[in-house]
Amino acid sequence: MSSVHPELSQEQAFVDRAYQLLDKGLGDAERSMADFQSQHRSTAVAIQRALRVLKESKGTGQLVFGKMRSDGEDLYIGRRRVRDENYEPVVVGWHAPAAQAFYEASPTEPGDLSLKRVFTEEQRRLVRVIDEIVASSAGDASDPGVGSAFSDALLEELDRSRDGAMRDVVATIQSEQFRIIRAPLDRMVVVQGGPGTGKTVVGLHRAAWLAFNHEELRRAGVLVVAPSTTFLTYVSGVLPSLDVTDVDQVELQRLYAGEAEAVSAEETDTARIKGTAAMASVLARALEQRVGWGDDDLVLSLGADRITVPAEDIRVIVSDVSARRLAHSDARDQVRARLSQLAHEKHREEQRAAGRPVRANEATIRRLSAFTNAVDRMWPNFTPEELLRSLYGTQTWLLRATDGLLTPDERARLYRPMAESIGQEPWTEADLFCLDEAAALLTRDTVTYGHLVVDEAQDLSPMQARALARRCPHGSFTILGDLAQTTGPWLRRDWTELTQHLGSTATDLQTLSIGYRVPAPVLELAAHQLPLTGEDLVPPTSIRSGLGPPEILDAGPDGLQDTVVTVVEEKVAAGMSTAVLVPDATYDDWLASLRSADLAPGDGRDGDFAAKVTVVPQSGCKGLEFDAVVLVEPAELAAESLHPPRALYVAMTRCTQDLTVVHAAPLPPGLAAPAPSPARGEDDADVEALAEPAPPEDPRLSHPGTEPRPDLHEMVDRLSDADADLLRSLIGRLLDEGTPDAF
């Protein structure tokens, strides 16, 4: 622990002044808002939102977290820009170009800096000031071991106790991370890194950094996609604390914005079939098969008169419109217009030939119920839910739609009788992505973004990747993941196939190899699982020592519950946030028994991480972290997993300090004894069988273009000059966005 820094009180005075300026700016902005609000409600609401974000970000502290000196000039770096009364910058925002040198400099590679100082603040009081680089040490890289490259500021930050919510790391971003954060936008950046290497924090900081520095991106939108509600809850505080308002966050399962929600589970094999890219072709073909006309002419009655449209002419309309590859509903509009035009022509010809007056125009013809029935027959209207449930529930249609694309067994897995109503359909997660694909075929009006950050991407199915690709038509993605942590049905050896489904051609693969979370002895034990996968997978290098080697406790046949409770009590007494990580099958029992032991555990399934103890199901632990983890009955956990060594590797790498394994059943391989040497393992055959090459582009499945979103600046343009000026200055103060200068 560092002693009190000689310049602490001087730095405290600076921090005090920065807060005073910020408080004053906020007060002024709030007063101006009050005047403004009554006149322009919608704009005022948007600004209110920005104001709230600003207040929240201030609440997290660390308004000023660093200082650097270059050529004798000092520059303070903070969570956001602060200006003085004369509008001169006092603190540079972390995302501004001027702050770059702060992040690029490290103790071993100081660059032009003669001082890099990092502050830790609590409730506006500086509790620590650490000099990472000082003139005398700058450039001294005589000890290039792993430890020397990491500053005390980083190590102290990593040692801070976890409180169930991910924090931003603006004060201690490392140079290898910063390079990824500001990597070019015009390609897909894939970040591969083991557990705890900072992929999630890097992804979130990149989203904020890009939104701040690229106005066109703010207009087009930035979206962060999280793998689950639990995970989203865990990370949701980071972006607001980074002073960004223009980044949306959503769970993968909520991308589909239609009526259906996933309410049922299904067998992995069925989910896998629904996730293959072949399913996109099945849906496109299924829809095509509902389009057409038979051999009978269309006869419309107009009082005593008849209009006859020959079958042959109707089939020409269908094939012409089909050839245009429009969205199904747009095509239907065209079919309807062409059919009414043709029917009107036939009516005119027939009436003229019979010497009778023309009785109807096109609009009248379109109102005839026989006409609407005919359009429905040749080009039926569907919602995505109607299409998918009728396809699943109609054996003959399924047979035709899947012929040559799926095996009979795969087809049989898709069949399910229709529920009584759409609202009662047992939709599953995999169904949601089939519905999303169907929606794109039907209307192509998906909301799109300029950039997507996708976390835990190793588990994506091709159909999920396609849903993401539709939302990011320019292919500007940040893909975060770890191939070693795949726990679903999509095992992959590399990222190529997935990036193809995401529709990107230019890909930049970045690797993170430093482990910031898991203590080295814990990582060492967890890494015994890697050879068991049969893959050549390498764990990260941990920079933490934690509280020593993991403990493995044999609780005996009747002692499991008592042992777990005792261990949890010890960890909580030591002040550690503790997860009890259990097999899914016994989750409810463990929640109940820890409740009855008066431990007041949070329910990890609901993202309830505020309690000191949280029960977490193994299927929902990915991406999370706690000070201490008590891993219960690993053999059971392995037995219910698709890829046992990978599931154990994920579960064992959730702690920042301490891992205890408690078991009554015999331990699984790798925990009981050293793992066998790398060889073809149990997952190996699966990898080859399951990685699915991207199919050639199917012309029926094109992706939509970008729709720019209106933003605050556009709203301003619609106001009168005086209001616009007032508002511009407000936005400048509140959002600090679109900064023309380097600060």
Enumerate the known binding-site residues for ATP: 193-200
Q: What angle do CA 363, 366, 368 make, to 5 degrees?
A: 120
Residue 544, Cβ density class (10 Å: 0-12 exposed, 13-18 middle, ≥19 buried): buried
Q: Please, what is the minimum distance in Å from the beta carbon of residue 234 to ligand ATP?
A: 9
Q: Read off the tokens for 48.
A: 């209110």
Closest by CA to 317, choosing from 299, 285, 282, 342, is 342
Closest by CA to 170, choosing from 77, 89, 90, is 77
Which listed range, 191-199, 496-504, 525-533, 729-737, lies at the site for ligand ATP (CB under 6 A)?
191-199
Check residue 197 for interaction with ligand ATP (CB under 6 A): yes
Q: How many CA atoms lie within 13 A of 323 on its CB side?
A: 6
Radius of gyration over every alpha carbon of the chain, rounded to an integer in angstroms: 30
Binding region: 193-200
Measured distance CA(374)–CA(299) in Å, rounded:
10
Tokens 């969205």 belong to 327
SS3 assignment for 523-575: HHHHHHHCHHHCCCCCCCEECCCCCCCCEEEECCCCCHHHHHHHHHHHHHHCC
Check residue 164 for interaction with ligand ATP (CB under 6 A): no
- Selected from 43, 60, 174, 402, the binder of ligand ATP by CB under 6 A is 174
601 vs 623 by CB, closer to ligand ATP? 623
Q: Read off the tokens for 118.
A: 């990092």
| DSSP classification of residue 417 | P
Check residue 526 for interaction with ligand ATP (CB under 6 A): no
- Selected from 517, 571, 646, 663, the binder of ligand ATP by CB under 6 A is 517
Check residue 170 for interaction with ligand ATP (CB under 6 A): no
Which listed range, 150-158, 242-250, 276-284, 669-677, lies at the site for ligand ATP (CB under 6 A)?
150-158
Check residue 464 for interaction with ligand ATP (CB under 6 A): no
Q: Please, what is the minimum distance in Å from the beta carbon of residue 200 to ligand ATP?
A: 3
Q: Please, what is the minimum distance in Å from the beta carbon of residue 660 to ligand ATP?
A: 19
Check residue 193 for interaction with ligand ATP (CB under 6 A): yes
Check residue 158 for interaction with ligand ATP (CB under 6 A): yes
Q: What angle do CA 420, 424, 429 make, to 5 degrees?
A: 135
Which listed range, 196-204, 403-411, 550-558, 707-715, lies at the site for ligand ATP (CB under 6 A)?
196-204
Q: Read off the tokens for 436.
A: 């999303």
* Phi, psi dihedrals of residue 61, rounded to the nearest 5°: 80, -165
Which listed range, 102-110, 169-177, 273-281, 609-617, lies at the site for ligand ATP (CB under 6 A)?
169-177
Check residue 169 for interaction with ligand ATP (CB under 6 A): yes
- Selected from 623, 634, 645, 669, the binder of ligand ATP by CB under 6 A is 623
Q: Please, what is the minimum distance in Å from the beta carbon of residue 691 to ligand ATP?
A: 21
Check residue 625 for interaction with ligand ATP (CB under 6 A): yes
Check residue 460 for interaction with ligand ATP (CB under 6 A): no
Contacts of residue 695, Cβ cutoff 8 Å, sequence gap at least 6 = 277, 278, 281
Measured distance CA(470)–CA(443) in Å, rounded:
12
Q: Please, what is the minimum distance in Å from the beta carbon of residue 199 to ligand ATP?
A: 4
485 vs 619 by CB, closer to ligand ATP? 485
Which listed range, 192-200, 257-265, 410-418, 420-428, lies at the site for ligand ATP (CB under 6 A)?
192-200
Measure Cα distances from 53 to 247, 489, 713 in Å: 12, 39, 18
279 vs 651 by CB, closer to ligand ATP? 651
Residue 364 three-state SS: helix
Residues 548-587, one symbol each (x = binds ligand ATP by CB under 6 A, - = not), give: ----------------------------------------
Beta strand segments in 164-246, E: 188-193, 222-226
- Selected from 61, 198, 473, 668, the binder of ligand ATP by CB under 6 A is 198
CB atoms within 10 A of CB 48: 14
149 vs 664 by CB, closer to ligand ATP? 149
520 vs 715 by CB, closer to ligand ATP? 520
Beta bridge partners of 428: 264
Which listed range, 198-206, 302-310, 461-469, 585-593, lies at the site for ligand ATP (CB under 6 A)?
198-206
Which listed range, 194-202, 329-337, 458-466, 568-576, lies at the site for ligand ATP (CB under 6 A)?
194-202
Check residue 201 for interaction with ligand ATP (CB under 6 A): yes
Using CB under 6 A, count the residues that bind ligand ATP.
23
517 vs 663 by CB, closer to ligand ATP? 517
Check residue 199 for interaction with ligand ATP (CB under 6 A): yes
Tokens 């974000």 belong to 53
Measured distance CA(70)–CA(101) in Å, rounded:
9
Tokens 């941990």 belong to 542
CA 235 to chain centre: 10
276 vs 653 by CB, closer to ligand ATP? 653
CB atoms within 10 A of CB 90: 18
CB atoms within 10 A of CB 308: 12
Measured distance CA(386)–CA(423) in Å, rounded:
11
Residues 477-496, one symbol each (x = binds ligand ATP by CB under 6 A, - = not), give: -----x--x-----------
Check residue 529 for interaction with ligand ATP (CB under 6 A): no
129 vs 220 by CB, closer to ligand ATP? 129
Which pairing describes strands 613-617 and 602-603: parallel, antiparallel, or unpaired? parallel
Check residue 172 for interaction with ligand ATP (CB under 6 A): yes
Which listed range, 165-173, 298-306, 429-437, 443-451, lies at the site for ligand ATP (CB under 6 A)?
165-173
Check residue 368 for interaction with ligand ATP (CB under 6 A): no
Residue 628 three-state SS: strand
Tokens 């660390």 belong to 62
- Selected from 78, 89, 107, 196, the binder of ligand ATP by CB under 6 A is 196
Closest by CA to 478, choosing from 500, 509, 501, is 509
Check residue 241 for interaction with ligand ATP (CB under 6 A): no
Which listed range, 36-44, 197-205, 462-470, 697-705, lies at the site for ligand ATP (CB under 6 A)?
197-205
Residues composing the chain:
743
Q: Please, what is the minimum distance in Å from the beta carbon of residue 317 to ligand ATP?
A: 54
Are 111 and 78 in contact by the 8 Å Cβ rule? The answer is no
Q: Read off the tokens for 441.
A: 């075929």
Residue 110 three-state SS: coil
Check residue 154 for interaction with ligand ATP (CB under 6 A): yes
- Binding residues (CB under 6 A) for ligand ATP: these are 154, 157-158, 167, 169, 172-174, 177, 193, 195-201, 482, 485, 516-517, 623, 625
